[in-house]
Chain A
Amino acid sequence: MVTIKQLQTEELFGPGQRTCAGCGASIIARITLKSLKRPVIVINSTGCLEVATTIFPNTAWHVPWVHGLFENASAIASGIEAYLKSANGGLEADIIVFGGDGGTFDIGLQALSGALERRHDFVYICYDNEAYMNTGIQRSSATPEGAWTTTTPVGKASPGKSGEKKDLIAFALAHHVDYVATASIAYWGDYITKVQKAAEIRGPALIHVISPCPLGWRFKTEQTIQLAKLAVQSHYFPLYEVERGRYKLNMNPHQYPLDDFLKMQGRFSHLFLPENAQELKTLKDQVDQHWSRIQELCQGKQPGW
Chain B
Amino acid sequence: MTDSPKLKPGWRELTPAAMITTPGSARDFLTGDWRTRRPILEESKCTKCLFCWLWCPEPAILRTEDGKISIDYNYCKGCGICATECPTKAISMVDEK
Residues of A within 8 A of B (CB): 4-5, 7, 9, 11, 14-24, 26-27, 30-31, 53-54, 56-63, 185, 188, 214, 220-226
Contact = CB atoms under 8 A, between A and B. Distances in A.
B40 interface: no
B25 A57 contact: yes
B81 A224 contact: yes
A222 B81 contact: yes
B84 to A, nearest CB: 4
A57 B63 CA distance: 28
Interface string B1-43: 0000000000000000010101111111111001100000000
Given A23-B57, A31-B54, A188-B54, A15 B26 contact: yes
A21 B34 contact: yes
Contacts of B20: 54, 56-59
Contact of A4 (B35, B49, B75): B49
6 contacts: A11-B24, A15-B31, A21-B35, A27-B56, A53-B26, A58-B25
Nearest to A220: B80
B56 to A, nearest CB: 8
A4 B67 CA distance: 12
A225 B81 contact: yes
A264 to B, nearest CB: 12
Nearest to A214: B79
A276 to B, nearest CB: 29
A62 B34 contact: no
Interface of B: 18, 20, 22-31, 34-35, 49-51, 53-60, 63, 67, 72, 74-75, 77-81, 83-85, 93
Residue in B24, B60, B74 whose Cβ sees the most chain A Cβ within 10 Å: B24
A222 B84 CA distance: 6
Contact of A22 (B30, B57, B74): B57
A23 to B, nearest CB: 5
Contact of B29 (A11, A58, A63, A226): A58
Residue in B23, B35, B78 whose Cβ sees the most chain A Cβ within 10 Å: B23
Given A4-B54, A30-B57, A54-B20, A221 B26 contact: no
Contact of A21 (B25, B55, B67, B77): B77
A22 B23 contact: no
A62 B56 CA distance: 17
A15 B59 contact: yes
B80 A18 contact: no
B79 A59 contact: no
Nearest to A14: B58
Contacts of A19: 57
Closest 10 pairs (CB-CB, A-B) = A222-B80, A16-B26, A22-B79, A26-B57, A21-B77, A21-B79, A15-B75, A15-B58, A221-B79, A58-B26
A184 to B, nearest CB: 12
A56 B23 CA distance: 12
Given A5-B67, A57-B25, A224-B57, 4 more contacts: A17-B31, A19-B57, A26-B58, A224-B55
